[in-house]
Structure 1
């Protein structure tokens, strides 16, 4: 029988304090770099998602699926740049592509041949993309897709979902971000068909678009059911609204993204991250009738500017990425590898009766603490994060794992062995955690 929550919290807090102190002691140079950075950046930070208490690690190099930090420690990289680093580190293929483009002249001040080739590759890949436009991030792609939908429908309401993340200006976690773009949002519970139907019944004629991740990434790797996504397809089609799939992360689930795997085709799709070959990249595309609104030859054309939308370095890197790495064979193999890892993690947690769960799909997953008390769940996750980093395995402090193509059986077996050792040594702490519903 579980002990009282206060006792559990005390035992867990003590274990966390001990491993956190070891983290501080091991990473003095990372702390010194944060202090230096804090003199020129707020909190020493320029990317909020990278922050973790008591301070983040500073990495100085990476090769394949290995990282080295400023204090000389080596790690197996299981985070893969929050899904963007699907190639591993220091790819010779991508280096050669960027170098060749650089030697051929950068910022050419007009259209270029690289953008044509990359557009051909991407429109052939995604079932929903008749035409596309490039931009510089997934955030930009989602902002432009929403703007296009509002203009095309002459409507204002934008349907999004709790815990959804579509970039720094479109985030819907526990509290909606104060920096969000000022759209008229309708925020619904995720994977709730009844809630979606009720909203469309009441306001369907006012809804411009539905913006949805087929799997919520930053929201904890929650996978949308096929029934939910199919209902959104039907509801938007019936009401004249635009369905936008944010596949910035889930595009890695197969050559044609999760939409092709599910057989559900949206009106617009947004992608980003790895399709830039390691450089800043975004793209939105969809039905010809929608995308043609951006044709500059039209007298009523929607303007979409951006100095680096078609920059030759990113375009060249994207071509190399798509042709060499992001093939159907390699993406399917990565999907299967991730499914196997998640299954083995689930079995390990169950076998050790450990207070953890794991959610996700394919090569993206999220470990969660599983305690009755929310604070204890967060402590459990931090405990695992510190303990696995101490053993040389790096994933996000929020529990996110995103496998790269460079992660092989040796690294996965090593990670599972390290996790098993952590669970075994923490058994006494876990036995005191209240897991009652």
Structure 2
């Protein structure tokens, strides 16, 4: 890159963002037109808030393996991985085959079938906490039903949640305060990775504490792992108070054959699953100790037309029984760990506030040093850098979440990872002065 180009790209963050937005918009007129038309029939022009960003979202037309093509003809390496749900990529032939075969046998059968027993047995055999489980259509529903189970089992009401945590569209807990979309339940917000404060709050509310729900690594909160000490503290507090400890492993279940709970050796009372386990179909599940789950035999109803839909049950059985074996999970975890180390070496070598937190195949970019161990309120400079990073990656043909999150899929190969590392290196070089000015701890 010439010195003149570097100087222009580093003029100031506001100017750099204006230029990046303009270039993005100019290259995607069809996406712009689709967004304009969509706003006439949908608030915000979309039906999924995480996909909305200014000036308008790129609309994708098709996918194959770990590639995407938008309606303006641009090709991308897909590093978003459908926010961890797209673990198998877009064209896994074994999943396609079983879906076509299942469709030929009918779509909605209004009856139990062999598929749910098969998938349930697979999952109970893999996750240490699962003695019994039930299916839902999403991780959001799974978390709601797990909380229902915990409150019914304990006869209590209060739910300890983590600040910065996310358990679905109606169970989100931003640092700034309550979300208007979150259900009005008696939640007890608790700082993430703060064992002392969690202990104080749990003991203060022990008489009415029904559940402690936690992501072993925050997903939407920035791919920040919980420390083993913190999770062990929560396990001890649940035992002490009689509360039900729930691990939301909707995202982190990919971290080993038995999820992050197996990798850490900490077993919750209940676990919630979702995302990729349905092979790309709508999926959720909740389960745990047999005595807790026994409520669903007669005491607590759990309805849902599509809970055991034949497509998800069939795809999930192939996905978890044939493709994402314990060995495949371990290999993916190792590949992600190596990638994150390489990415962090880029910022460290340049002395810039640029790095990635995460575990295994999930990671999120941050523009501060040292890297965070808990959620934080980003500065305006950090938010600007995050947006600029997204647009620069898009310009390089790399598609990741707007918030800077990456979730690797199984088809992503070493050459693809090299390409991503190179793009991050280019970003660090060409935007170095903006990183020093806008980052934290530079």
| Same fold, judged at TM 0.5 (above) | yes
Q: What number of residue pairs does the alignment pair up? A: 426
Give the 3-state SS of the residue equivalent to 1:67 in structure 2: strand
Show the 5 A alignment for 1:28-107.
28-107=29-108
Question: Alpha-carbon deviation of 1:434?
Answer: 6.1
Partner of 2:220: 218
Question: Alpha-carbon deviation of 1:435?
Answer: 3.8
Give the 3-state SS of the residue equivalent to 1:387 in structure 2: helix
Measure the CA separation in 2 of the matches of 1:433 and 1:118: 48
Partner of 2:308: 310
Partner of 1:190: 192
Give the TM-score, by structure 2 length.
0.94
Measure the CA separation in 2 of the matches of 1:427 and 1:65: 30
Compared CA separation, residues 205 and 33, structure 1 to 2 (3 A): same
Measure the CA separation in 2 of the matches of 1:400 and 1:272: 18
Compared CA separation, residues 9 and 147, structure 1 to 2 (3 A): farther
Is 1:153–1:241's contact at 8 Å kept on the other side of the alignment? yes
1:236 to 2:241 alignment: no
Measure the CA separation in 2 of the matches of 1:435 and 1:169: 32
Is 1:255–1:328's contact at 8 Å kept on the other side of the alignment? yes
Give the 3-state SS of the residue equivalent to 1:383 in structure 2: helix
Gaps of 5+ in 1: 1-7
Q: Could you report, residue by residue, the CA deviation over 1:219-251 in whole angstroms, capped at 9, with x for unpaired residues?
A: 001100000001100110111110000000000
Give the TM-score, by structure 1 length.
0.95
Question: Alpha-carbon deviation of 1:10?
Answer: 7.3
Give the 3-state SS of the residue equivalent to 2:205 in structure 1: helix
Partner of 1:413: 418
Give the 3-state SS of the residue equivalent to 2:435 in structure 1: helix
Deviates more, 1:172-181 or 1:265-274: 172-181
Q: Could you report, residue by residue, the CA deviation over 1:186-238 in whole angstroms, capped at 9, with x for unpaired residues?
A: 00000110011101221112100001000000000110000000110011011
Compared CA separation, residues 159 and 434, structure 1 to 2 (3 A): closer
Is 2:368–2:439's contact at 8 Å kept on the other side of the alignment? no
1:247 to 2:245 alignment: no
Partner of 1:392: 397
Q: Residue 403 of structure 1: which of 405, 408, 427 is its match? A: 408
Q: Could you report, residue by residue, the CA deviation over 1:146-178 in whole angstroms, capped at 9, with x for unpaired residues?
A: 011001100010000101000001000133221
Partner of 1:276: 278
1:16 to 2:17 alignment: yes
Q: Could you report, residue by residue, the CA deviation over 1:90-120 in whole angstroms, capped at 9, with x for unpaired residues?
A: 2211111111111122211111001110011
Measure the CA separation in 1 of the matches of 2:10 and 2:65: 39
Is 1:373–1:434's contact at 8 Å kept on the other side of the alignment? no
Is 1:196–1:232's contact at 8 Å kept on the other side of the alignment? yes
Partner of 1:3: none
Measure the CA separation in 1 of the matches of 2:254 and 2:108: 29
Gaps of 5+ in 2: 1-8, 370-376
1:343 to 2:331 alignment: no
Partner of 2:202: 200
Give the 3-state SS of the residue equivalent to 1:223 in structure 2: coil
